[in-house]
């Protein structure tokens, strides 16, 4: 069970629905994992939100997959509209942080659905050319599902 974290700046905390909205709108985020020695590793990725899961895709091997295989607990952070205001020495932003468990999607139907969700999100729609590309790359592409256990949001917006 994930410990519920309370932000220090409660005035910037957002309701879960707003945090989910930020996650749904953000084009990318950063996945944080840890290796067997406790060394953190963070990598930027595209994602798609589907209910209580985030999906990302990657190669069939690599650092993040090794880390997830030995420690499923991960964090994912997405930021929108970051803007530095030098006059007031502040940054305006909206952010969402997810804590959850990541695992490699092994079922073909879920994997295809996740890839189609990613394509639709970033390309606008599926078409025959994209479907053919997914088919060609399917065996060489991994999909990771991050099951969301906790999501929080925070924002510092212009008034």
Full DSSP string of 40-85? EEEEEE--EEETTEEEEEE-SSSHHHHHHHH--EEEEEEEEEEEEE
Superfamily of chain region 10-105+143-156: Electron Transport, Fmn-binding Protein; Chain A (2.30.110.10)
CA distances from 62 to 43, 120, 123, 142 (A): 11, 26, 26, 10
In angstroms, what is the C-alpha Rg of the chain?
Answer: 17
Q: Give the model's pLDDT for residue 41.
A: 97
Q: Give the model's pLDDT for residue 54.
A: 97
Question: Is 148 in contact with 102 (CB distance < 8 Å)?
Answer: no
What does the alpha-carbon distance between residue 56 and residue 33 come to, in Å, rounded to a whole number? Answer: 14
In a structure prediction context, what are the per-residue pLDDT tens digits for the chain, which is 159 residues long? 445 555 566 666 678 899 999 999 999 999 999 999 999 999 999 999 999 999 999 999 999 999 999 999 999 999 987 667 677 776 666 889 999 999 999 999 999 999 999 988 988 877 788 788 888 888 999 999 999 999 998 866 767
Helix residue spans in the chain (DSSP H): 16-25, 63-70, 108-123, 128-137
What's the token pair of residue 31? 């996945």
Q: Give the model's pLDDT for residue 89.
A: 73
Q: Give the model's pLDDT for residue 44.
A: 97
Q: Give the model's pLDDT for residue 1.
A: 47
Q: Give the model's pLDDT for residue 93.
A: 64
Domain boundaries, the chain: 10-105+143-156
Q: Give the model's pLDDT for residue 11.
A: 60
């Amino acid at each position: 069970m994930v410990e519920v974290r309370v932000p220090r700046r409660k005035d910037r905390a957002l309701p879960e629905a707003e945090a989910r909205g930020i996650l749904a709108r953000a084009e990318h985020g950063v996945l944080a994992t840890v290796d067997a020695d406790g060394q953190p590793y963070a990598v930027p990725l595209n994602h798609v939100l589907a209910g209580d899961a985030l999906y990302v895709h990657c190669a069939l091997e690599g650092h993040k997959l090794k880390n997830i295989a030995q420690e499923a607990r991960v964090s994912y952070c997405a930021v929108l509209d970051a803007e530095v205001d030098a006059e007031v020495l502040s940054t305006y932003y909206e952010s969402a942080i997810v804590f959850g468990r990541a695992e490699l999607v092994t079922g073909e139907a879920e994997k295809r659905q996740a890839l189609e969700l990613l394509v639709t999100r970033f390309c606008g729609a599926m078409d025959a050319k994209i479907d053919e590309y997914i088919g060609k790359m399917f065996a060489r592409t991994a999909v990771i599902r991050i099951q969301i256990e906790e999501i929080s949001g925070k924002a510092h917006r212009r008034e």
